[in-house]
Chains A and B, each alone.
Chain A
Amino acid sequence: MRKLVTSMLAGIGLTLACGTSVYAQEKSLTIFWAEWDPANYLQELGNEYEKETGVKITVETTPWSDFQTKAFTEFNAHGDAYDLVVGDSQWLGAGSTGGHYVDLTDFFKKHDLGNVMAPATVKYYAEYPGNSGKYWAIPLEGDAVGWSYRKDWFEDPKEKEAFKAKYGYDLDVPKDFKALRDIAEFFHRPDQKRYGIAIYTDNSYDAMAMGFENALFSYGGELGDYSTYKVDGHINSDKAVAALDAYKELYKFTPPGWAKSFFVEDNQAITENLAAMSMNFFAFFPSLINEASNPNAKNTGFFANPPGPNGDQFAALGGQGISVISYSQKQDEAMKFLEWFIKDETQKKWAALGGYTCSQAVLKSPEFQNATPYNKAFYETMFKVKDFWAVPEYAELLQQLNQRIYPYMIGGSGTAKETLDALAGDWNATFKKYGRVQ
């Protein structure tokens, strides 16, 4: 009998202990993001928040390849596993119209974020539909596609001389797309296991789209009209056709087997001495100036996406805003975190940790621009970026782009004009299906 009483007491004690620990955990927030360095920086920033307020921040991550799938599986199930999500810019449409994101318009207006954050980040990471004045996210990680290059190869006097003799102008950071192509051709030496350029070609998510957009926007082309959803005459315009040809031309000078490459492969092109220049998101550049991850760290330079033949200069936008998930039980706590996050001193800390802040004040400050070799290129790029469609059916549009452009780029089937005409047809049919065009 005594034994029974003891065990019962122990049981009650245990239950109480569990109960109190659950109570203690209530002061916590879970943020979902993809698995990459910025997520670690955000965790560090979260630790600061915990020190100040006692609210524990956990940044949960998953590899990029299934980030979208995992996030939307959770949203679709109305799950409350995550309180906040740092979602891709293309998700805004699906997140807002699907009811997954909390409307942050009032919060946005109260803190005048439209003027605090860089305009492009507000337009592409926060607002949906375009120009509606409705906001669903706070710009968190600014990002765009830029370029890294091998300074030692570029500055070698012998190479400089040979380049000048062949092309008639000095070998330097490319001034335009033509120079980009020439330099890629110049350094493409398969017999020496050295190649010209590394670009994005993977067709499983948005890699191919981002790479192609870099050429498209700088050539003055457009994906379509974002307000009327008219694509015919835009995506298959002469400028777009020339841009696709220019991007395909670059593929000739890539290392062997460059048919499923994204950010990992493109950084490897620099670390493994494969290519002279490599396209990548700015978010992946920190590891290139780190000697532990890049033996060529000292010889790696960076430049913004060059202008096209008519002088237009744009870049494809990456980056994410942070949104409150409408199924979260701790929305008030999440809003408090966002209020803390947008403070100027927090944004400074965020930038110092390695995050790409979107705060105009920090971006414009000389201390930010001189902090790393690529911050200046990043600052320049962030004011001339354009993004992919952000409509809820963006994934179908991406898939159609991959389906049309990949066989042309990699397999060499058809012509650029045929490819883009077909893509315009696909996109038009999709917009028709969702009632955006007649």
Chain B
Amino acid sequence: MATTMITTLDRSTRAAARGLSDISIRNLFIIPTVLFLIVFNIFPLIYSLGYSFTDFRASTNAPANFVGLQNYRDLLNDPYVWSNFAITAKYVIVSVVGQLLVGFGVAMLLNRDIPLKGLITTLLLLPMMLSMAVVGLFWKLLYDPSWGVINYALGLGNFEWLADPKMALYAVALTDIWMWSPFVMLLSLAGLSAVPKHLYEAAAIDRAGPFYTFFRITLPLVAPILMIAIIFRTMEAFKTFDLAYILTSQPTAELISIRLYKMAFQEWQTGRSCAMAYIVLIMVLAITNIYVKYLNKVKER
């Protein structure tokens, strides 16, 4: 069955003249990639699973001892780890919802005939193209209470965005929203422009109000592509490291990836950090699965 999926090789090409069959060309392209994946992804994944059951420390010469589920037990009983998870969940919700609202809103505004539409769209995409670390460093300066532009522009005086334990996480989320809303906007714009115009015309003839049109026509038709944006952004937000690491050191903004980094590369608790990475992996897989199930449902409709 699989071979029928492959386009047959044109007999006049050089590859055909050399006697390469379709299957050998397919292998030529796929095998290096598969090998690459096995060596750099699958093998470390399995190897680290082994380490997660040991007390291995990469910084010493001491041999790794098998400790069973000890690492998992300790981690799941550690109140700090649980608070890291709670912080991460809060961060994911705030930043993804924020990006959806801003991104989709801007896309709605841009989805009409306005002058310089192409230029405006391109300019709006710029934040997304910067490096996370650079954005973090920029925003650290913008947030600065003594000479930052944000407090100056908003007249907030010495408001401490990053030093206030309650505000720090939201400040990081705000930066993330600024950076990644354009991504949601881009996908939404693609979705919006694909909505057939005749549906709106029909709605107008039936004298449907703008809210009715939005909730009954626009949203359902854009929903599948929005779901894809949500999946991408949720996964990315879950993994956020650089932004938060650069912006603040508040324990109230210590995301799970920062804790993992510290455990693995500052404390060199290799075994335990492998276990932690597996816990995170399982969580991300579970969340993504729920999303994908929902996405398929939305598509069926």
**A contact residues vs B (CB 8 Å cutoff):** 68-69, 72-73, 75-76, 94, 97-99, 190, 193, 202-205, 255-260, 272, 274, 392-393, 395-396, 399, 403, 406-407, 410-411
Contact of B163 among A190, A257, A393, A395 (CB under 8 A): A257
Q: Which residues from B are CB-within-8-Å of A259? A: 160, 162-164, 248-250
Most chain B beta-carbon contacts within 10 A, residue among A257, A259, A274: A257
The answer to the question of B216 belonging to the interface, with a C-beta cut-off of 8 Å to chain A, is: no
With A190-B158, A257-B160, A406-B251 already in contact, the answer to whether A274 and B58 are too (CB < 8 A) is no
The answer to the question of B191 belonging to the interface, with a C-beta cut-off of 8 Å to chain A, is: no
Q: Which residues from B are CB-within-8-Å of A76? A: 58-59, 268
Q: Which residues from A are CB-within-8-Å of B252? A: 411
Q: Which residues from B are CB-within-8-Å of A204? A: 249
Q: Which residues from B are CB-within-8-Å of A75? A: 59
Contact present for B265 and A73 (CB under 8 Å): yes
Give residues of chain B (248-297) contacting chain A, Cβ–Cβ below 8 Å: 248-252, 262, 265-269
Which chain B residue has the least Cβ–Cβ distance from A406?
B251
Contact present for A257 and B162 (CB under 8 Å): yes
Contact of A203 among B160, B163, B251, B268 (CB under 8 A): B251
Contact of B250 among A190, A396, A403, A410 (CB under 8 A): A410
| Smallest beta-carbon distance B143→chain A, Å | 8
| Smallest beta-carbon distance A352→chain B, Å | 36
Contact present for A98 and B249 (CB under 8 Å): no
With A94-B60, A98-B60 already in contact, the answer to whether A202 and B145 are too (CB < 8 A) is no
The answer to the question of B165 belonging to the interface, with a C-beta cut-off of 8 Å to chain A, is: yes
A256-B145, A257-B163 given; name 14 further pairs at CB < 8 Å: A72-B265, A72-B268, A76-B59, A94-B59, A97-B61, A203-B251, A204-B249, A255-B145, A256-B146, A260-B163, A260-B249, A392-B60, A396-B267, A411-B251
Which chain A residue has the least Cβ–Cβ distance from B266?
A395
Q: How many residues of B contact A (CB 8 A)?
A: 27
Contact present for A97 and B160 (CB under 8 Å): no
A93–B268 alpha-carbon span in the complex (Å) = 13
Most chain B beta-carbon contacts within 10 A, residue among A75, A193, A202, A393: A393
Q: Which residues from A are CB-within-8-Å of B58? A: 72, 76
| Smallest beta-carbon distance B163→chain A, Å | 3
Most chain A beta-carbon contacts within 10 A, residue among B158, B162, B249, B268: B249
A232–B262 alpha-carbon span in the complex (Å) = 26
Which chain A residue has the least Cβ–Cβ distance from B263?
A399
Q: Which residues from B are CB-within-8-Å of A403? A: 80, 251
Q: Which residues from A are CB-within-8-Å of B146? A: 193, 255-257, 272, 274
Complex interface bits, B89-123 against A, C-beta within 8 A gives 1, otherwise 0: 00000000000000000000000000000000000
A97–B61 alpha-carbon span in the complex (Å) = 8
A195–B251 alpha-carbon span in the complex (Å) = 25
Complex interface bits, B127-171 against A, C-beta within 8 A gives 1, otherwise 0: 000000000000000011110000000000010111111000000
Q: Which residues from B are CB-within-8-Å of A274? A: 146
**What are 21 A-B pairs at a CB distance below 8 A?**
A68-B266, A72-B58, A73-B265, A76-B59, A94-B59, A97-B60, A98-B60, A190-B158, A193-B146, A255-B146, A256-B146, A256-B160, A256-B163, A257-B158, A259-B160, A260-B249, A392-B60, A396-B269, A407-B165, A407-B251, A410-B163
Contact of A69 among B80, B162, B164, B265 (CB under 8 A): B265
Contact of A395 among B60, B144, B158, B268 (CB under 8 A): B268
Which chain B residue has the least Cβ–Cβ distance from A410?
B165
Q: Which residues from B are CB-within-8-Å of A256? A: 145-146, 158, 160, 163
A399–B258 alpha-carbon span in the complex (Å) = 12
| Smallest beta-carbon distance A72→chain B, Å | 5
With A256-B146, A260-B162, A410-B163 already in contact, the answer to whether A399 and B60 are too (CB < 8 A) is no
With A94-B59, A190-B158, A204-B249 already in contact, the answer to whether A257 and B145 are too (CB < 8 A) is yes
Q: Which residues from A are CB-within-8-Å of B269? A: 396
Q: Which residues from A are CB-within-8-Å of B262? A: 399
Q: Which residues from B are CB-within-8-Å of A260? A: 162-163, 248-250
Q: Which residues from A are CB-within-8-Å of B160? A: 256-257, 259
Give residues of chain B (224-253) contacting chain A, Cβ–Cβ below 8 Å: 248-252
Contact present for A98 and B59 (CB under 8 Å): yes
Q: Which residues from A are CB-within-8-Å of B59? A: 72, 75-76, 94, 98, 392
Q: Which residues from B are CB-within-8-Å of A258? A: 163
| Smallest beta-carbon distance A429→chain B, Å | 10
A410–B59 alpha-carbon span in the complex (Å) = 32
Which chain A residue has the least Cβ–Cβ distance from B248?
A260
Contact present for B165 and A399 (CB under 8 Å): no
Query: Closest 5 interchain pairs by CB?
Result: A259-B163, A256-B145, A257-B145, A256-B158, A395-B267
With A258-B163, A410-B165 already in contact, the answer to whether A203 and B267 are too (CB < 8 A) is no
Q: Which residues from A are CB-within-8-Å of B163? A: 256-260, 410
Which chain B residue has the least Cβ–Cβ distance from A193?
B146
Q: Which residues from B are CB-within-8-Å of A99? A: 61
| Smallest beta-carbon distance B257→chain A, Å | 14
